[in-house]
Structure 1
Amino acid sequence: MKLDKLQYQLDAVQAVIETIDENKIQASHPQANPLLHIEQGIDVKMETGTGKTYVYTRLIHQLKQNFNCFKFILLVPSLAIKEGVKNSIQSTGWIQHFRQEFNNQNIHLGLVSAGDFANKKGKRKQIPEAIREFCDSSQAEKNNISVLLLNDAMLASKSMTTDDYDSTLFGHLSSPIQGLAHTRPIVIIDEPHRFKKENTAWKNIVENLQPQLIIRFGATFPERSIGTGKHKIIEKDYENLVYELNGIRAFNENLVKGVHIQYPHLNPKQTDLIKFKITKVIDKSTLLFSQIGSKKTVEIKVGDDLGILDIGFKGLELDKDGSKFKLSNELYLETGMELIPQTFAQSYQEILLKQALDAHFEKEKTNFYREHLANHPPKIKTNTLFFIDSVGSFRGQDKQEKGWLRLKFEELLRQRLASEINKATGEYQEFLQASLQDIDACIAGYFAEDQQKKGDEAIIAEVDDILRNKESMLKFKHANGRWNLRRFLFSKWALREGWDNPNVFVICKLRSSGSEISKLQEVGRGLRLPFDENGTRLNAEQHHEDFRLTYIIDYSEREFAKKLIGEINADGGGLKTNSINDKILATLVENSYANTLAKAKGKLLLEDIIDEQDQILDIEKLCSLFPTTFVQKLQDGKVTGGEEKPRPKLKLNKDNFEKIRDLWNVVSKRYLLEFAKTQPEEIESLIDDTLAQVEWMAPSIEIKNLMLNVERQAMIHQGGYQSIQSHIGQLNYGQFLKQLHQRTSLSLNGLHQALIRYSQHNEVKPEYFNQHNIEQFLKAFQHTFIEKFAQKYEYSSLNYTASTSIFNDQGELVTELAQGLVGEYIADDIQRPHDQKYLYDRYAYDSEIEHEILKVQPTDEVIVYGKLPRKSIRIPTYIGGTTSPDFIYAIQAKDSQNIHLNLVIEAKSDNQRDSDKLAVNIQERFFKQIKHQNIQWHEITDIAKFEHLLKNSLIKEA
């Protein structure tokens, strides 16, 4: 996984650095951090999937480089987070990345487990080696940073605080936590909402560990109450929030995937479900259930089967976990929760499994082929995650090798693979066939209970792949060349905060998570932007792809999308609270919602936006009442599905489209792109020029040198790195040529002869035949190809019409079009009531130059105008894919109702990217070659040029 330096991540690091006054730093003893003199903690809020671990790892390096801080304690709340952090920091890619960024600085990561404190038989009780190394490390080790990774339970254990060890730290301290405190550590807390200040873990940090600085990184922070009664306000418990990347910004700036919510579409009889609500806790062992829409109430005691309520619940027993009630399927219960018997039936879960497979294979094909992009980009591995109700349903019980849920899923997967194989071709068909031959290899599970199954090597391998070997799940092939089939993962809620996989594109929840869990936390396992098979992180805007997580839920949670949007919106601007306050009411009064604070509050109550306790019930509706200066808002289309409104549409003015039907008959024909006959010497020159641009590299790997220091009790210390040759990614000559041939369509013999010519003047080593140099060749080839052959092609009209976005299969105009096909934004500042000339009912645009063009009032001679939809005029490009111009202006002939000229406009800004320049050149060439007297194409880069063009076109006709 190749690491990027993303600007928002650098900004977060810089925000922390700027809080520290370098002039006030004081020296300390050699085994301790310098004194920073910071009176309060620092908080950094970053939404799930935006790279918190990378940011605080970079911050550690920056604090070392800027202020010589070199001792850090990382506190995490769970095993999954601990494993994720450990694997990231210790990965070769991260080590190399940060060594290059920070002048060979290196993190020595210490890990402490409960077994490290065990008093081994016949031996003295020793302080764990990781803690000893952390305390002993010195400022003299200039490039070394000591980081101790602990979970909250470890910090609170008696083993950390007792002082009966037979060894000491710093010569006189026999308590591990006192030794750690002596180093004046900087503590970094991951997932701060799990470290509430009233909890024991926080007190252990502040009172026992006594760090000089606490830096909290999280998407969610704990809450605190201010005031009492009606004046009580609940707000986030921030210390000193120096940087905020909230959910609104993460979604709106395309820093994470969008989310699409799905649930089974049931017929009217099925949707009229019986519901039971938990209305009261009667005593420590009894809950009162009420049937909604009925007076029926039933008391259920711990140990009772819920089949008493409804046959659909049969087999589920009421249980307890400490003071909390739960069902035997581990669903935790709270008063106010609604249970629907039908959602617990096996047949209903089968519906959800099928729906997940539909979503998976739709995305898998798109990500495998990526046909809408030119130049055969690398494939994207597609993974799907299932949250289920019990281990037994997957792993099996009573000596069964597999549970009923896994067997059902395997049956459905076999059926689906057989169907997809018949439709697939090439490599994807091979991938599917291999999947059908080895179904077990496609599936893996991770459950907390797996940690106890040390004897089962197959289960351990599954857990390692999911929990500790994230990168392997991004690759299509193993090192031995065999297909990497694993892509369907099953878990309970063990995979929550701290675990994600960037290539999870589908999450299917076959159980309710309960009302206490954040909706953003639920979808967070799949929000991170994906990586392609080469380990490159993909940017949605840069790659023109709509990366979207499909989240499948049961029918009982059908308002999930609305709640998710509400939760995201609640996190922005002035609404960082779950209840209203005087500031909110005053803002509503200022915006004419009501005349007084009391009336505003009463109106909110009447409209069911708040309840009698001032708690916000409908955050989305409340957000709509505020100006954007007070509250940020999630853009339309970032979260879709469920009960949400469909993506916005534009209505077509069919009469106006009919007026330019003649234009369509010309430009929507299929056109064959023919290259001029290329001479053999031109192909030779193309390959020779490409080879000359390749910076050949042999694969290598860096090995850590360890030195034994006898003077310090034979402790092992890091002694630098050396680079040695590696065979990773190396190919034999025939494989190298074959891959180049497949990726470029150049002949094998032509490539072979060119390499012979190249080797006569340059050294060509066998190590050069590797995957890295194939990618280097392809980049150089594309650049050289465009440079040499950009003008060597023609367009020839064919006798059939291309399918376009505004006509259906029968050649009829559609009645409406997705707004996104025309423009991302609506120009609300353009007011032209009853505009009979425009192509749609609203004015949509993508860029500022398009917005300026739309603002120009068309004159009487313009009888039809408008923004052209994407894929409406599909001009083939010589590097693959198509391009469409932006606008059409149909100008009426003098003294006639006929159109004398169709102005076709391509609008571009001055600072054009290479892809923009390519589109302009291709469109210009296309419209010149079709030579139609009524069609003129023009590139517009400023509004004055456009106004001049319209005026000249009219004058010329007059």
Structure 2
Amino acid sequence: MKLQFDKNQEYQLQAIQSVIDLFDGQPLNNSDFEFSMANTNSGSITFTEAGVGNNLALTEEELLTNLNKVQKENELREDEISPAIEKLWYNEDASVKGVLEGKSVVTEFPNYSVEMETGTGKTYVYLRSIYELNKVYGFKKFVIVVPSVAIREGVIKSLQITFDHFQEIYENQPADYKVYDSGRLTDLGNFAKSNAIQILVINIDSFTKDANVINQVRETGIKPIEYIQKSNPIVIIDEPQNMETDIRKRAIANLNPLFTLRYSATHKNLYNLVYKLDPVKAYDLGLVKQIEVDSVVARNDSSGAFISVDGFRMAKKSVTAKVSIFVNEKTGVQKKQVSAKVGDDLYKLSKNWDIYKDGYVVNEIDADNQFIEFSSGQIVYQGQAVGGLTDQVLREMVDATVENHFKKEKELQGKGIKVLSIFFIDRVANYREYDDSGNTVQGKFAEWFEESYTKWQNMPAYRGLLSFKAKDVHDGYFSQDKAGKYKDTKETRTTKADDDTFNLIMRDKERLLDEKVPLRFIFSHSALREGWDNPNVFQICTLNETKSDIKKRQEIGRGLRLCVDQTGARNLDRAINRLTVIANEAYESFSKALQKEIEEDCGVKFEGRIKNARARTSVKLKDKWMEDALFLELWEKIRAKTEYKVDYSTEELIANCVAALQAMPPIERPVIYREKNVAKFVRDAKGKLIELGGEQKGSKEKMVKDTNYEIPDFIAYIQSKTELTRDTITQIVLNSNRLGEIFNNPQLFMDSVVRIIKHEFDRIKINGIQYEKIAGQVYEMKLFESAEIEQYLENLIEVKKQAKTLYNYVAIDSLSSPERRFAEDCESRDDILFYVKLPRTFVVKTPIGPYNPDWALIKKEDGEETKIYFIAETKDPKAAKDRTLLRDSERLKIACAEKHFEVIDHVNYRVVGSVSDLKV
């Protein structure tokens, strides 16, 4: 198969033309046979003792004029228009931060950034820009700098498959491309001397250090890098966000660029942004696949000794491990990350959770080999998780991927489009292992895959769709050691073995698209996430044993390209081009993370969801507020403190709890839950982006039947959360006749019992609560001073009639329209003599936590002399009339507040929807 390219893609041509227009006015070069050594600055090439080099004749003022014109034509935001040509700078001294005069090196060459979403042909655009820059201006020397071997191999592959395409467009213009190889330094001499287009692809790490071969003086008396420097190359930087350290910026400057062109979907710093095709625009134009998320998550999964080693922290004299475990919090058992050192006991770190009681003392932490050993002899590696429902979730993710694959195969049957699925894994041993004799054996992922594939292959709906055997349709792309055994790739550095792996997967790009080739499911180490993609990847599954912290945009980028058929032609049908991401998190969590990344990476703001940090002001007390007669009068009425006591019957509590437990929903075994959502960019009436939403397409649950739990001391657990006696708890649980359900899911059973007992206990306590004033104890007036803070303007109402209140602004909840209306009415109505929003520290104690009422007021009816003193709680008008619409905790606290204010003389407590509801 030969991949086909469309030379008339409008958005790509726009990106290319934007770069060309940056140099408008650059004099065209004379014929290659007409030049003068004395007149080297007249055109776009110059001749030196080393050979042929590029030349830029425009002034900086001309370059800035061109840049601003291009930026405005491309409708960039005002803050993206460059006030000057931004230069690259770096510090030789690592201790220096920022640009300091005399300590920072500021380079002279211009830098330009092009932002293009993954999958929209970024590499094609900059390769074609090379030919176009040569055609229009005559530039000839180009260096493509890449941050990794994976990306380098992707660029080489692109150069190979586009070469004939570009030769056809540019009338067989002589061009040569090479990969820098420290063993073939003569290539650099040819790069400098040749008068044809020269493209050199080089990894940034090949020339960052003085010790690199390219920076060493050779027997010729010069450093090999000088051949590049004297050519004044146009330097194209692929994924420049990976080259922002001082040492890498210095290395780029050391190439002596004519200028740099920086291409990425996720720039860290935008040096003179020229053109922008962000992910939202790419989706809207149908240039990439639509995304749908098939979420696979565990529910009710908090029983069992879960342990996940997430990382290590090295210090001079110690090493600690970051470990996720279940922690026994006041609100119930929750999964949390803790720090552990040698000698620590997970039982104590989990706040005495029974499942970690025996054998979980940390005996050894080995950061080099990335594992922890416990006193039981158990070893857990980084990236590995044990306990909980980890394996069940991962197994379901494999099955979900295979199911989605077969659905896509059936959908595309007869269209000549091969379907590929890719699994990214953290540990090769989960896919391929070795027995004592060194023979390969299947890891759990391979076993699960073949079981799932065979199951779906034999389903009536898919029978005959794929005739290949399970063992033939999947394979792994992993590095190998000297003995030929698969091994993990380190994210931070790559070896020769890694290079070979990258070469293999890149070379197989077209073969993978051939329907006759059985291979359809690719297992790859996580290091290949960046730099490798294939247009026909329709399913991506990241099999992390812990929740993936890889960026969502990076993860989905491997499959965003529009698919191609067996002739190599792109298919533009949006219904077909749909990428399914199988994620081990809920869609809401996935979409929020993706939305946040888009905002951070691209500056695409989601209207109404981000506050303006500058739109703040201070809320201040008015002058002589402590002398305000109306305030002092009101304060004297409401300032008394109270204490409460409760009177309840244990028998009544037991009866109420038993009845509530009997009505409790059944305690089911843990389930693996799947939900499929299609990502939608939600816009307002004006077309502005609001958020990344989702449209649910389906869901299903699978009961986990093969999980057996150790039953902890559940009476002790419930007692620690409720403060009831063991005898009372025992009576409640036994009389409910629900105890047998603890074997389905111990943690869910215990937490459900705790929740019900606490609720019934709160209810019965509040029914019998009594408040009394505490002699001599009152709230202090300085509470009001603590309310003097800065607030967002949208949360404030400016006070016009200062005599009626204490502050210059009334602070409200920005989402509360009842509060806003109430404050505005208080200021405008004549019958309200004085009002104040009570400080958050003015609280009434209750058995279920402190309660802070909203307002204190003085009201006077028309024609009457009597003043009425109110404490008001504002709620939605419907909820003010029908308290069943309120949350239980709100309702119970209000009931306590009513009892508190009953003993405060001459003060009326009211729950209101508006000022009009303030009645005696």
Equivalents in 2 of 1:111, 1:78: separation in Å? 13
Name the counterpart of 1:165.
Answer: 218
1:703-782 matches, cutoff 5 A:
none
Name the counterpart of 2:433.
Answer: 396
Q: In the alignment, is residue 12 of structure 1 matched against residue 15 of structure 2?
A: yes
SS at match of 1:432: coil
Equivalents in 1 of 2:250, 2:608: separation in Å? 26
Select 2:589's aligned residue among 559, 575, 589.
559
Q: 1:243 to 1:298 in 2, by over 3 A?
A: closer
Name the counterpart of 1:646.
Answer: none
Kept after mapping to 2: 8 A contact 1:75/1:151: yes
Query: Which structure has the higher relative contact order (CA within 8 Å, separation 6+)?
Result: 2
SS at match of 2:13: helix
Name the counterpart of 1:445.
Answer: 476
Name the counterpart of 1:300.
Answer: 340
Q: In the alignment, is residue 151 of structure 1 matched against residue 203 of structure 2?
A: yes
Q: 1:199 to 1:493 in 2, by over 3 A?
A: farther
- Render the CA deviation track for 1:1-55: whole Å, top value 9, x for unaligned: 1101311111111111111133367331151112254552010000111111100
SS at match of 1:264: strand
Select 1:182's aligned residue among 230, 251, 267.
230
Name the counterpart of 1:354.
Answer: 399
Equivalents in 1 of 2:249, 2:476: separation in Å? 33
Equivalents in 1 of 2:198, 2:380: separation in Å? 44
Name the counterpart of 1:248.
Answer: 280
SS at match of 2:434: coil
Kept after mapping to 2: 8 A contact 1:302/1:319: no
**CA positional deviation for 1:386:** 0.5
**CA positional deviation for 1:476:** 0.7
Kept after mapping to 2: 8 A contact 1:156/1:204: yes
SS at match of 1:532: coil
Where does the alignment leave 5 or more consecutive residues of structure 1 unmatched? 117-126, 139-143, 168-172, 223-236, 333-338, 370-377, 478-483, 590-595, 600-622, 644-958
SS at match of 2:212: helix
SS at match of 1:40: strand
Select 1:525's aligned residue among 551, 558, 562.
558
1:73-472 matches, cutoff 5 A:
73-91=143-161, 94-114=162-182, 116=183, 128-138=185-195, 144-157=196-209, 158-167=211-220, 174-196=222-244, 198-206=245-253, 208-222=254-268, 237-264=269-296, 266-268=298-300, 283=315, 284-287=318-321, 291-292=326-327, 294=329, 299-301=339-341, 320=367, 330-331=382-383, 341-342=387-388, 345-369=390-414, 378-398=415-435, 399-416=438-455, 418-420=457-459, 422-424=460-462, 429=464, 432-433=466-467, 435-436=468-469, 439-449=470-480, 453=484, 466-472=505-511
**CA positional deviation for 1:404:** 1.8
Equivalents in 2 of 1:409, 1:166: separation in Å? 58
Q: Which has the higher strand share?
A: 2
Kept after mapping to 2: 8 A contact 1:155/1:204: yes
Kept after mapping to 2: 8 A contact 1:568/1:634: no
Equivalents in 2 of 1:567, 1:20: separation in Å? 33
- Render the CA deviation track for 1:589-642: whole Å, top value 9, x for unaligned: 7xxxxxx5679xxxxxxxxxxxxxxxxxxxxxxx9999958x645675589889
**CA positional deviation for 1:550:** 1.0
1:446-525 matches, cutoff 5 A:
446-449=477-480, 453=484, 466-477=505-516, 484-511=517-544, 517-525=550-558
Equivalent residue letter for 1:247: P
**CA positional deviation for 1:445:** 1.2
- Render the CA deviation track for 1:438-483: whole Å, top value 9, x for unaligned: x333112122447984999x99998655322211111112xxxxxx
Moved more, 395-404 or 49-58: 395-404
SS at match of 1:470: coil
Equivalents in 2 of 1:513, 1:24: separation in Å? 58
Equivalent residue letter for 2:433: G
Equivalents in 2 of 1:303, 1:514: separation in Å? 27
SS at match of 1:81: helix
Q: In the alignment, is residue 62 of structure 1 matched against residue 109 of structure 2?
A: no
SS at match of 2:550: coil
Equivalent residue letter for 1:35: L
Aligned length: 537
Equivalents in 1 of 2:363, 2:582: separation in Å? 23
Q: 1:514 to 1:145 in 2, by over 3 A?
A: farther
Name the counterpart of 1:882.
Answer: none
SS at match of 1:31: strand
TM-score (norm 2): 0.52
SS at match of 1:150: strand
Q: 1:527 to 1:321 in 2, by over 3 A?
A: farther
**CA positional deviation for 1:106:** 4.4
Name the counterpart of 2:5.
Answer: 3
**CA positional deviation for 1:191:** 0.8
- Render the CA deviation track for 1:510-533: whole Å, top value 9, x for unaligned: 106877532111111111111112
SS at match of 1:55: helix
Larger radius of gyration: 2
Q: 1:358 to 1:100 in 2, by over 3 A?
A: same
SS at match of 1:113: coil
- Render the CA deviation track for 1:859-890: whole Å, top value 9, x for unaligned: xxxxxxxxxxxxxxxxxxxxxxxxxxxxxxxx
- Render the CA deviation track for 1:175-202: whole Å, top value 9, x for unaligned: 0112211100111111111111x34122
Kept after mapping to 2: 8 A contact 1:34/1:68: no
Equivalents in 1 of 2:56, 2:433: separation in Å? 56
Name the counterpart of 2:113.
Answer: 43
Equivalents in 2 of 1:639, 1:520: separation in Å? 21
- Render the CA deviation track for 1:59-82: whole Å, top value 9, x for unaligned: 011011111111111111111111
Equivalents in 2 of 1:533, 1:450: separation in Å? 36
Equivalents in 2 of 1:106, 1:641: separation in Å? 55
Kept after mapping to 1: 8 A contact 2:371/2:381: no
Name the counterpart of 1:717.
Answer: none
Q: 1:406 to 1:566 in 2, by over 3 A?
A: closer
Kept after mapping to 1: 8 A contact 2:52/2:231: yes
SS at match of 1:254: coil
Kept after mapping to 2: 8 A contact 1:382/1:487: yes
**CA positional deviation for 1:89:** 0.6
- Render the CA deviation track for 1:140-161: whole Å, top value 9, x for unaligned: xxxx311111111112242345
Q: 1:288 to 1:414 in 2, by over 3 A?
A: closer
Q: 1:494 to 1:240 in 2, by over 3 A?
A: same
Equivalents in 1 of 2:425, 2:359: separation in Å? 16
Equivalents in 1 of 2:406, 2:359: separation in Å? 32
How large is the RMSD of aligned CA atoms in angstroms? 4.5
SS at match of 1:22: coil
Q: 1:160 to 1:288 in 2, by over 3 A?
A: closer
**CA positional deviation for 1:107:** 3.3
Moved more, 530-539 or 546-555: 546-555
Q: Percent identity?
A: 30
Moved more, 20-29 or 517-526: 20-29
Equivalents in 1 of 2:526, 2:140: separation in Å? 35
**CA positional deviation for 1:238:** 0.9
Equivalents in 1 of 2:164, 2:696: separation in Å? 37
Where does the alignment leave 5 or more consecutive residues of structure 2 unmatched? 29-40, 64-108, 331-335, 374-378, 488-496, 620-680, 701-920
Q: 1:558 to 1:549 in 2, by over 3 A?
A: same
Equivalent residue letter for 1:419: N
1:629-640 matches, cutoff 5 A:
632-633=689-690
